[in-house]
Structure 1
Protein backbone atom coordinates (compact mmCIF):
# COMPACT_ATOMS: atom_id res chain seq x y z
CA UNK A 1 0.00 0.00 0.00
CA UNK A 2 1.26 3.44 -0.91
CA UNK A 3 2.31 5.69 2.01
CA UNK A 4 -0.16 8.40 1.00
CA UNK A 5 -3.03 5.90 1.21
CA UNK A 6 -1.90 4.90 4.69
CA UNK A 7 -1.97 8.58 5.71
CA UNK A 8 -5.52 8.92 4.40
CA UNK A 9 -6.56 5.76 6.26
CA UNK A 10 -5.00 7.12 9.47
CA UNK A 11 -6.80 10.44 8.90
CA UNK A 12 -10.14 8.65 8.52
CA UNK A 13 -9.58 6.56 11.65
CA UNK A 14 -8.56 9.61 13.68
CA UNK A 15 -11.60 11.52 12.40
CA UNK A 16 -13.90 8.69 13.47
CA UNK A 17 -12.18 8.48 16.87
CA UNK A 18 -12.65 12.26 17.31
CA UNK A 19 -16.40 11.88 16.83
CA UNK A 20 -16.51 9.49 19.79
CA UNK A 21 -14.12 11.34 22.12
CA UNK A 22 -14.78 15.01 21.25
CA UNK A 23 -11.34 15.99 22.58
CA UNK A 24 -10.48 18.14 19.57
CA UNK A 25 -6.96 16.67 19.60
CA UNK A 26 -7.67 13.65 17.41
CA UNK A 27 -9.50 15.79 14.86
CA UNK A 28 -6.50 18.07 14.52
CA UNK A 29 -4.23 15.06 14.11
CA UNK A 30 -6.62 13.78 11.42
CA UNK A 31 -6.25 17.06 9.54
CA UNK A 32 -2.46 16.79 9.78
CA UNK A 33 -2.60 13.18 8.51
CA UNK A 34 -4.82 14.30 5.63
CA UNK A 35 -2.28 17.01 4.74
CA UNK A 36 0.51 14.41 4.85
CA UNK A 37 -1.53 12.09 2.62
CA UNK A 38 -2.10 14.84 0.10
CA UNK A 39 1.62 15.61 0.18
CA UNK A 40 2.33 11.95 -0.62
CA UNK A 41 -0.29 11.94 -3.37
CA UNK A 42 1.60 14.82 -4.99
CA UNK A 43 4.64 12.55 -5.18
CA UNK A 44 6.79 14.00 -2.41
CA UNK A 45 8.99 11.57 -0.46
CA UNK A 46 8.05 9.97 2.87
CA UNK A 47 10.36 12.36 4.78
CA UNK A 48 8.36 15.33 3.45
CA UNK A 49 5.10 13.61 4.40
CA UNK A 50 6.32 13.01 7.96
CA UNK A 51 7.51 16.64 8.18
CA UNK A 52 4.09 17.91 7.01
CA UNK A 53 2.38 15.67 9.57
CA UNK A 54 4.68 16.86 12.37
CA UNK A 55 4.29 20.55 11.54
CA UNK A 56 0.54 20.21 11.06
CA UNK A 57 0.11 18.30 14.33
CA UNK A 58 2.23 20.76 16.27
CA UNK A 59 0.44 23.79 14.82
CA UNK A 60 -2.96 22.26 15.46
CA UNK A 61 -2.28 21.19 19.03
CA UNK A 62 -0.32 24.27 20.10
CA UNK A 63 -2.16 27.04 18.23
CA UNK A 64 -5.63 25.94 17.13
CA UNK A 65 -6.70 23.71 20.05
CA UNK A 66 -6.26 26.31 22.85
CA UNK A 67 -8.16 28.93 20.85
CA UNK A 68 -10.98 26.50 20.07
CA UNK A 69 -11.21 25.37 23.71
CA UNK A 70 -11.50 29.00 24.87
CA UNK A 71 -14.36 29.58 22.45
CA UNK A 72 -16.14 26.40 23.53
CA UNK A 73 -15.78 27.31 27.22
CA UNK A 74 -17.36 30.76 26.86
CA UNK A 75 -20.71 31.16 28.62
CA UNK A 76 -23.73 31.91 26.42
CA UNK A 77 -24.24 35.62 25.78
CA UNK A 78 -26.56 37.32 28.22
CA UNK A 79 -29.62 38.98 26.78
CA UNK A 80 -30.20 42.47 28.07
CA UNK A 81 -32.41 45.43 27.27
CA UNK A 82 -35.42 44.75 25.10
CA UNK A 83 -33.96 41.44 23.88
CA UNK A 84 -34.36 40.08 27.43
CA UNK A 85 -38.11 40.71 27.27
CA UNK A 86 -38.70 38.46 24.26
CA UNK A 87 -40.14 35.18 25.46
CA UNK A 88 -41.47 36.59 28.74
CA UNK A 89 -45.09 36.63 29.81
CA UNK A 90 -47.20 39.80 29.76
CA UNK A 91 -50.55 40.71 31.27
CA UNK A 92 -52.67 43.04 29.18
CA UNK A 93 -53.88 46.12 31.07
CA UNK A 94 -56.19 47.30 28.30
CA UNK A 95 -57.57 45.64 25.21
CA UNK A 96 -54.70 45.14 22.77
CA UNK A 97 -55.64 45.42 19.11
CA UNK A 98 -54.18 46.67 15.84
CA UNK A 99 -54.36 50.29 17.05
CA UNK A 100 -52.48 49.49 20.26
CA UNK A 101 -52.98 48.87 23.93
CA UNK A 102 -51.06 48.54 27.20
CA UNK A 103 -49.43 45.53 28.87
CA UNK A 104 -47.37 44.85 31.98
CA UNK A 105 -44.12 43.01 31.31
CA UNK A 106 -41.89 42.23 34.28
CA UNK A 107 -43.33 45.05 36.40
CA UNK A 108 -43.11 47.68 33.66
CA UNK A 109 -45.94 49.09 31.58
CA UNK A 110 -45.43 48.86 27.81
CA UNK A 111 -47.37 49.90 24.77
CA UNK A 112 -48.45 46.77 22.97
CA UNK A 113 -50.13 45.44 19.90
CA UNK A 114 -50.83 41.89 18.77
CA UNK A 115 -48.18 40.05 16.77
CA UNK A 116 -50.96 38.92 14.42
CA UNK A 117 -52.74 42.16 13.37
CA UNK A 118 -56.10 40.38 13.13
CA UNK A 119 -56.12 39.38 16.80
CA UNK A 120 -57.74 41.25 19.67
CA UNK A 121 -56.40 40.43 23.13
CA UNK A 122 -58.81 41.36 25.94
CA UNK A 123 -57.77 43.25 29.08
CA UNK A 124 -56.43 41.00 31.84
CA UNK A 125 -55.31 38.24 29.45
CA UNK A 126 -51.95 36.51 29.54
CA UNK A 127 -49.80 36.87 26.44
CA UNK A 128 -46.30 35.95 25.33
CA UNK A 129 -43.91 38.66 24.16
CA UNK A 130 -42.79 37.56 20.69
CA UNK A 131 -40.88 40.70 19.69
CA UNK A 132 -40.13 44.29 20.61
CA UNK A 133 -40.37 46.98 17.94
CA UNK A 134 -39.09 50.27 19.29
CA UNK A 135 -41.08 50.84 22.48
CA UNK A 136 -43.94 48.51 21.51
CA UNK A 137 -44.25 44.89 22.59
CA UNK A 138 -45.72 42.49 20.06
CA UNK A 139 -47.89 40.00 21.95
CA UNK A 140 -49.54 36.69 21.22
CA UNK A 141 -52.27 35.48 23.58
CA UNK A 142 -51.69 32.39 25.70
CA UNK A 143 -54.47 29.89 25.06
CA UNK A 144 -56.94 29.26 27.89
CA UNK A 145 -55.68 25.65 28.23
CA UNK A 146 -52.12 26.90 28.84
CA UNK A 147 -53.33 29.37 31.51
CA UNK A 148 -54.67 26.57 33.75
Structure 2
Protein backbone atom coordinates (compact mmCIF):
# COMPACT_ATOMS: atom_id res chain seq x y z
CA UNK A 1 0.00 0.00 0.00
CA UNK A 2 2.93 2.29 0.66
CA UNK A 3 4.11 1.93 -2.95
CA UNK A 4 0.65 2.87 -4.26
CA UNK A 5 0.45 5.98 -2.11
CA UNK A 6 3.74 7.25 -3.51
CA UNK A 7 3.10 6.21 -7.11
CA UNK A 8 -0.68 6.52 -7.44
CA UNK A 9 -0.33 9.36 -9.93
CA UNK A 10 1.50 6.97 -12.31
CA UNK A 11 -1.26 4.39 -12.00
CA UNK A 12 -3.90 7.02 -12.83
CA UNK A 13 -1.80 8.32 -15.74
CA UNK A 14 -1.38 4.84 -17.22
CA UNK A 15 -5.09 4.13 -16.70
CA UNK A 16 -6.04 7.42 -18.41
CA UNK A 17 -3.79 6.62 -21.38
CA UNK A 18 -5.07 3.04 -21.70
CA UNK A 19 -8.70 4.19 -21.51
CA UNK A 20 -7.97 6.90 -24.09
CA UNK A 21 -6.46 4.27 -26.38
CA UNK A 22 -9.49 2.02 -26.00
CA UNK A 23 -11.69 5.01 -26.86
CA UNK A 24 -9.80 5.50 -30.11
CA UNK A 25 -10.77 1.97 -31.09
CA UNK A 26 -14.38 2.06 -29.90
CA UNK A 27 -15.49 5.68 -30.49
CA UNK A 28 -18.26 5.16 -27.95
CA UNK A 29 -17.36 8.20 -25.83
CA UNK A 30 -17.53 6.06 -22.67
CA UNK A 31 -13.85 5.31 -22.31
CA UNK A 32 -12.82 8.93 -22.86
CA UNK A 33 -15.16 9.90 -20.02
CA UNK A 34 -13.54 7.25 -17.80
CA UNK A 35 -10.18 8.61 -18.91
CA UNK A 36 -11.30 12.06 -17.74
CA UNK A 37 -12.17 10.55 -14.37
CA UNK A 38 -8.71 8.97 -14.19
CA UNK A 39 -7.12 12.36 -14.94
CA UNK A 40 -9.16 13.94 -12.13
CA UNK A 41 -7.97 11.18 -9.79
CA UNK A 42 -4.40 11.83 -10.99
CA UNK A 43 -4.74 15.48 -9.95
CA UNK A 44 -6.11 14.34 -6.58
CA UNK A 45 -3.09 12.04 -6.16
CA UNK A 46 -0.66 14.82 -7.06
CA UNK A 47 -2.32 17.06 -4.46
CA UNK A 48 -1.72 14.38 -1.84
CA UNK A 49 -5.24 12.98 -1.51
CA UNK A 50 -5.63 9.55 0.10
CA UNK A 51 -6.36 6.48 -2.05
CA UNK A 52 -10.04 6.36 -1.04
CA UNK A 53 -10.50 9.98 -2.15
CA UNK A 54 -8.76 9.30 -5.46
CA UNK A 55 -11.14 6.39 -6.10
CA UNK A 56 -14.14 8.50 -5.14
CA UNK A 57 -13.04 11.36 -7.41
CA UNK A 58 -12.52 8.88 -10.26
CA UNK A 59 -16.00 7.42 -9.80
CA UNK A 60 -17.83 10.74 -9.39
CA UNK A 61 -16.11 12.51 -12.28
CA UNK A 62 -16.56 9.50 -14.57
CA UNK A 63 -20.27 9.15 -13.79
CA UNK A 64 -20.84 12.90 -14.14
CA UNK A 65 -19.04 13.01 -17.48
CA UNK A 66 -20.96 9.99 -18.81
CA UNK A 67 -24.26 11.49 -17.65
CA UNK A 68 -23.76 15.09 -18.74
CA UNK A 69 -20.87 15.46 -21.19
CA UNK A 70 -21.31 12.32 -23.32
CA UNK A 71 -24.84 13.14 -24.60
CA UNK A 72 -23.79 16.66 -25.63
CA UNK A 73 -20.58 15.43 -27.26
CA UNK A 74 -22.50 12.70 -29.08
CA UNK A 75 -24.89 15.23 -30.61
CA UNK A 76 -21.99 17.32 -31.85
CA UNK A 77 -20.29 14.31 -33.40
CA UNK A 78 -23.40 13.38 -35.41
CA UNK A 79 -25.30 16.60 -36.14
CA UNK A 80 -28.69 16.18 -37.78
CA UNK A 81 -28.53 12.41 -38.03
CA UNK A 82 -31.93 12.07 -36.33
CA UNK A 83 -33.51 14.19 -39.05
CA UNK A 84 -31.89 12.41 -41.99
CA UNK A 85 -34.43 10.79 -44.28
CA UNK A 86 -33.41 7.49 -45.82
CA UNK A 87 -34.76 4.91 -48.23
CA UNK A 88 -38.19 5.78 -49.63
CA UNK A 89 -38.70 8.56 -47.06
CA UNK A 90 -36.17 10.66 -48.95
CA UNK A 91 -38.47 10.54 -52.01
CA UNK A 92 -41.36 12.31 -50.27
CA UNK A 93 -41.68 15.80 -51.70
CA UNK A 94 -39.38 14.99 -54.63
CA UNK A 95 -40.21 16.04 -58.18
CA UNK A 96 -41.02 13.35 -60.71
CA UNK A 97 -41.56 13.44 -64.47
CA UNK A 98 -44.49 11.50 -65.89
CA UNK A 99 -43.31 8.85 -68.37
CA UNK A 100 -46.66 7.18 -69.12
CA UNK A 101 -50.08 8.70 -68.36
CA UNK A 102 -50.88 8.60 -64.64
CA UNK A 103 -54.40 8.43 -63.26
CA UNK A 104 -56.01 7.09 -60.09
CA UNK A 105 -55.27 3.55 -61.26
CA UNK A 106 -51.75 3.42 -62.64
CA UNK A 107 -48.96 5.02 -64.64
CA UNK A 108 -45.19 5.52 -64.66
CA UNK A 109 -43.02 8.37 -63.39
CA UNK A 110 -39.28 8.94 -63.29
CA UNK A 111 -37.91 9.93 -59.87
CA UNK A 112 -34.23 10.79 -59.77
CA UNK A 113 -33.39 8.55 -62.72
CA UNK A 114 -35.48 5.57 -61.56
CA UNK A 115 -38.82 4.65 -63.12
CA UNK A 116 -41.57 3.98 -60.59
CA UNK A 117 -45.15 2.81 -60.95
CA UNK A 118 -47.41 5.64 -59.92
CA UNK A 119 -50.97 6.63 -59.25
CA UNK A 120 -52.45 10.09 -59.04
CA UNK A 121 -53.70 11.44 -55.74
CA UNK A 122 -56.29 13.30 -57.80
CA UNK A 123 -56.71 14.09 -61.46
CA UNK A 124 -54.69 12.80 -64.39
CA UNK A 125 -51.19 13.56 -65.66
CA UNK A 126 -49.73 13.24 -69.14
CA UNK A 127 -46.17 12.36 -70.19
CA UNK A 128 -43.85 15.31 -69.56
CA UNK A 129 -45.84 16.70 -66.62
CA UNK A 130 -43.75 17.35 -63.53
CA UNK A 131 -45.46 16.08 -60.40
CA UNK A 132 -44.63 15.91 -56.71
CA UNK A 133 -44.35 12.65 -54.74
CA UNK A 134 -46.71 12.87 -51.77
CA UNK A 135 -46.54 9.25 -50.57
CA UNK A 136 -45.01 5.87 -51.28
CA UNK A 137 -47.43 2.95 -51.13
CA UNK A 138 -45.39 -0.24 -51.42
CA UNK A 139 -43.65 0.10 -54.79
CA UNK A 140 -46.03 2.78 -56.07
CA UNK A 141 -45.44 6.51 -55.87
CA UNK A 142 -48.55 8.56 -55.12
CA UNK A 143 -48.21 11.86 -56.98
CA UNK A 144 -49.92 15.25 -57.00
CA UNK A 145 -49.58 18.31 -59.25
CA UNK A 146 -46.49 20.46 -58.78
CA UNK A 147 -47.48 23.29 -61.09
CA UNK A 148 -45.34 22.40 -64.13
CA UNK A 149 -47.46 21.24 -67.05
CA UNK A 150 -46.30 19.22 -70.03
CA UNK A 151 -45.68 21.22 -73.22
CA UNK A 152 -47.56 18.45 -75.05
CA UNK A 153 -50.90 19.35 -73.47
CA UNK A 154 -53.26 21.08 -75.81
State the TM-score, normalized to the length of structure 2. Answer: 0.48
Q: TM-score under structure 1 normalisation?
A: 0.50
